[in-house]
Structure 1
């Protein structure tokens, strides 16, 4: 069974960029400590500081489900409510091999 890879693209309302950048970094720290997490990286778009991209790699769907149910992820969902202009979640298969 292959890993579950996720790209999450979030465009933050400009007035919340600094606040949510802190929240995003906390989410990364907590998510990296989860069982089943292989990698969890945060990026900020060059030229558009309001756009963030998470790249996640999980060992299984069970790990993803556990992450989505975790207190830190649920806190993140609440923290961004009403503070974003766009949110896109993309589930990926690695076809490079």
Structure 2
């Protein structure tokens, strides 16, 4: 198993008219995610040019911490259960920082 830190870049294209609802749900998901033992940071960004585009920048201590995050109640219930249905498109890129 990889023991390096893992950074996640998630780009969400929100369905028209749903951005405020997604941001409200994401506030709770972010707060809960930041409490996780293996979470290094969880930052939410909104595109200036395309306000319906949300970028998440997350950091985890290792692959196990990321897996724990993905199986958490708040991730499954809020992100998968409530937010994903409000998205047009969802792209997730996993990286290992080089510096």
Give 1:82's match in structure 2, choosing from 57, 81, 85. Answer: 85
Q: Confirm whether residue 57 of structure 1 aligns to residue 59 of structure 2.
A: yes
SS at match of 1:35: coil
Question: Which blocks of at least 5 consecutive residues in structure 1 are unaligned?
Answer: none
Q: Confirm whether residue 31 of structure 1 aligns to residue 33 of structure 2.
A: yes
Following superposition, the deviation at residue 82 of structure 1 comes to 2.7
Compute the TM-score of the two structures, normalised by the length of structure 1.
0.93
Q: Which residue of 2 aligns with 1:21?
A: 23
Q: Which residue of 2 aligns with 1:66?
A: 68
Q: CA RMSD in A?
A: 1.0
Q: Which residue of 1 aligns with 2:6?
A: 4
Following superposition, the deviation at residue 42 of structure 1 comes to 0.4
State the 4+ residue runs in structure 1 displaced beyond 3 angstroms: none
Query: Could you tell me how far apart the structure 2 residues matched to 1:69 and 1:42 are?
Result: 20
Question: Which blocks of at least 5 consecutive residues in structure 2 are unaligned?
Answer: none
Query: Could you tell me how far apart the structure 2 residues matched to 1:4 and 1:45 are?
Result: 23
Query: Could you tell me how far apart the structure 2 residues matched to 1:6 and 1:23 are?
Result: 19
Compute the TM-score of the two structures, normalised by the length of structure 2.
0.91
